[in-house]
Amino acid sequence: MNNRNPGLLALAAVVLALAACSGQSSETTDATEPTSATAEPEIAPAAEAAPAQAPAADTAVAAADSTPAADAAGHPGEETYKKTCAMCHSTTALGAPMVGDKADWGARAAQGTETLHKHALEGFNGAKGVMPARGGNPSLDDDAVKAAVDYMVGQSK
């Protein structure tokens, strides 16, 4: 079964369950026809419904690492990038520069590392887009944010 809209499937299961509990079917019956008390309506299994997904910002807050510990690749900002920053910087959401885009990052890097860190920590509304403070994850400490910025700039040279 294709679960493109798990909310609709869940709603249908609830409606069917309520109809079964009330003893009424969804079909119109003639008042003179006897109803069978032993017939059970078919109910779609609710186990097929996909779990609801939290909004991206909530997911980022719950999943992000708050410390810039070095990962297997050795760069302390890579994990933070993957868990928080990649949501925008791998898709250009909110006008974010894609990691690896030398022209877009070059113009930003020309402002200096201190400016990039400040924009990432405090947030920034620019001509090309919006940078939410700490990438939308308030649990990130300053060092984790700075390391992620440094990682993205280093990947975009």
- For the chain, 157 residues long, give each residue's pLDDT as a single digit of tens: 444 544 444 444 433 444 444 444 434 444 444 544 555 545 544 444 444 444 444 433 333 343 444 445 578 999 999 999 999 999 999 999 999 999 999 999 999 999 999 999 999 999 989 999 999 999 999 999 999 999 999 999 9
Beta-carbon count within 10 A of 16 CB: 16
For domain 56-155, the question of CATH label 1.10.730.10 is answered with no
- Whether pTM > 0.75 for this model: the answer is no
**Alpha carbons 60 and 65: distance in angstroms, whole number:** 9
Position 127: which residue type? A
Tokens of 114: 């201190």
pLDDT number for residue 74: 74
Beta-carbon count within 10 A of 41 CB: 12
Tokens of 72: 């297997």
Which alpha helices (DSSP H) does the chain contain, by range? 6-22, 56-63, 78-80, 86-89, 102-109, 113-122, 142-155
**Alpha carbons 127 and 71: distance in angstroms, whole number:** 34
**Alpha carbons 50 and 47: distance in angstroms, whole number:** 8
Per the CB < 8 A criterion, the answer to whether 120 and 131 are in contact is: yes
Per the CB < 8 A criterion, the answer to whether 58 and 114 are in contact is: no
Per the CB < 8 A criterion, the answer to whether 138 and 90 are in contact is: no
List the chain domain ranges.
Answer: 6-48, 56-155
Tokens of 62: 């719950």
Distance of CA 99 to the CA centre of its chain: 19
Q: Is 125 helix (H, G, I), strand (E, B) or coil?
A: strand
**Alpha carbons 86 and 99: distance in angstroms, whole number:** 8
